[in-house]
């Protein structure tokens, strides 16, 4: 009886930011084989957007040459520019280009969701310290449909946050034009800082929703509600994880691209510099994938740990599972 009473009084301590980052770093290093997979996914997502670019370049080049040849002005830049402008104003061209672009974006987003459906369970097993098991393929095959609604919720959060920065910029311009010049700069700085805060908050909340769905099997509404509660309790922890991962990605990816620029500048021929630049770009994509896994793992530690309310569900008699 004393043991049951003492167990009932025990409350799990939520992990700190440093603990979440360190646990996620260890799990990411154990799952480092996901980085090449993330590299392939990033290249495939880029390939999905190539048809739009190739279509646009081909149509504009054809329009410029045909317009100049029809009017006997072949070789004149003004005639080519006029053909390009007329093509850009065509409704058919804009509709086809927009359709290809939206399809490419949709396929790229779906491919990222599929990668997360397999990578998050693998990362969660390493976070829990469980024995290694092939969970990437089952997660990819059976977890995609479950993760898709939560990914839509995370995408909507990011889109709403992306609208905050233009709205803040427009508001700052209006204040600068109509308001007092002494209050324009502080208000503009506050608006921009608030927009950045909203953007980081939406990104952190979206990561928490994805983590709870992938690791705890919750549907999108419940995952959003529980993730919002966790974020509301410790917003500074989630924002610190998001900011740390963003800074790490900027430093690591920027350093990799800087090495590629140095290698390209020291080469005697552009073809000689192509190899190091391609290798550096691939390395930058792999590093970005690892940093993304590190961020998602830290967010999962903060969003999926068992708190006091969930620990109360483990009664000695019933043995219920946490909600």
Could you give the percent of the chain with pLDDT greater than 70? Answer: 76
Q: Answer yes or no: is 151 within a domain.
A: yes
Give the lowest-confidence range in 40-54, 70-84, 85-99, 144-158. Answer: 70-84
Average pLDDT on 24-40 reads 87
Report CA torsion sign: 42, 130, 235, 224. Answer: positive
Could you give the percent of the chain with pLDDT greater than 90? Answer: 14
* Domains identified in the chain, total number: 1
Q: Answer yes or no: is 149 within a domain.
A: yes
Q: Answer yes or no: is 311 within a domain.
A: no
- Which of residues 162 and 238 earns the better pLDDT score? 238
Q: Answer yes or no: is 190 within a domain.
A: yes
- Domain span at residue 222? 145-231
Q: Answer yes or no: is 282 within a domain.
A: no
Q: Are 307 and 14 in contact, with CB atoms under 8 Å apart? A: yes
Give the lowest-confidence range in 39-43, 82-86, 140-144, 155-159. Answer: 82-86
Model confidence, pTM: 0.78
CA distance 283 to 172: 39
Q: Answer yes or no: is 184 within a domain.
A: yes
Give the lowest-confidence range in 22-26, 74-78, 100-104. Answer: 74-78
- Please give the structure tokens belonging to residue 158: 């990011």
- Which of residues 256 and 232 earns the better pLDDT score? 232
Helices (H), 75-180: 77-88, 91-128, 136-142, 144-162, 164-178
Report CA torsion sign: 69, 71, 74, 80. Answer: negative
- Please give the structure tokens belonging to residue 237: 């922890």
Q: How wide is the angle at C-alpha 172 spanned by C-alphas 171 and 177, nearest 5°?
A: 100
Give the lowest-confidence range in 115-124, 164-173, 247-256, 291-300. Answer: 164-173
CA distance 227 to 205: 7
* pLDDT for residue 273 is more than 80: no
Q: Which residues make Cβ contacts (< 8 Å) with residue 221, sequence separation at least 6?
A: none
Q: Give the mean pLDDT of the chain.
A: 78
- Please give the structure tokens belonging to residue 136: 């990437």
* pLDDT for residue 168 is more than 80: no
Average pLDDT on 152-174 reads 79
| HSE, side-chain direction, 13 A CA sphere, residue 92 | 3
> Phi and psi for 217 in degrees, rounded to 5?
70, 25
DSSP characters for 250-305? HHHHHHHHHHHHHHHHH-SSHHHHHHHHHHHHHHHHHHHHHHHHHHHHHHHHHHHS
CA distance 285 to 44: 12
Which pLDDT tens digit goes with each residue over 131-144?
777 888 888 888 89
Q: Are 175 and 181 in contact, with CB atoms under 8 Å apart? A: no
Residue in the block written with tokens 């992306």: 162
Which pLDDT tens digit goes with each residue over 71-94?
655 555 666 677 677 777 778 888
- Which of residues 313 and 70 earns the better pLDDT score? 70
Residues in the chain: 323
- Look at residue 180 and give its three-state secondary structure: coil
* pLDDT for residue 105 is more than 70: yes
Q: Mean pLDDT highest for which of 5-9, 79-83, 84-88, 179-183?
A: 84-88
CA distance 193 to 200: 11
Q: Answer yes or no: is 115 within a domain.
A: no
């Amino acid at each position: 009886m004393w043991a049951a009473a003492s167990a009932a009084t025990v409350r799990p301590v939520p992990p700190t930011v440093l603990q979440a980052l360190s646990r996620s770093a260890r799990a990411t290093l154990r799952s480092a084989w996901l980085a090449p997979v993330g590299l392939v996914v990033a290249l495939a997502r880029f390939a999905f957007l190539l048809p739009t670019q190739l279509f646009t370049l081909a149509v504009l080049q054809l329009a410029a040459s045909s317009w100049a040849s029809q009017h006997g002005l072949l070789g004149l830049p003004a005639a080519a520019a006029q053909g390009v402008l007329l093509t850009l104003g065509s409704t058919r061209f804009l509709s086809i280009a927009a359709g290809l672009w939206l399809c490419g974006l949709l396929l790229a987003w779906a491919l990222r969701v599929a990668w997360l459906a397999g990578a998050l369970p693998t990362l969660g097993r390493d976070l829990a310290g469980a024995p290694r098991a092939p969970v990437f393929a089952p997660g990819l095959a059976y977890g995609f449909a479950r993760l898709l609604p939560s990914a839509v919720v995370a995408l909507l959060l990011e889109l709403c946050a992306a609208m905050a920065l233009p709205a803040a910029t427009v508001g700052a311009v209006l204040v600068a034009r109509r308001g007092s010049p002494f209050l324009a700069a502080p208000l503009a700085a506050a608006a921009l800082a608030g927009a950045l805060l909203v953007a980081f908050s939406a990104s952190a909340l979206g990561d928490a929703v994805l983590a709870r769905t992938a690791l705890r099997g919750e549907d999108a509404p419940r995952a959003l509600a529980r993730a919002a509660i966790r974020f509301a309790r410790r917003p500074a922890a989630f924002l610190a994880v998001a900011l740390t991962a963003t800074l790490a990605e900027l430093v690591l990816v920027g350093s990799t691209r800087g090495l590629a620029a140095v290698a390209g500048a020291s080469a005697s021929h552009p073809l000689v510099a192509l190899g190091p630049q391609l290798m550096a770009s691939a390395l930058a994509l792999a590093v970005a994938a690892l940093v993304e896994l590190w961020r998602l793992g830290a967010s999962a530690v903060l969003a999926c740990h068992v708190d006091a309310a969930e620990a109360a569900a483990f009664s000695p008699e019933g043995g219920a599972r946490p909600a």
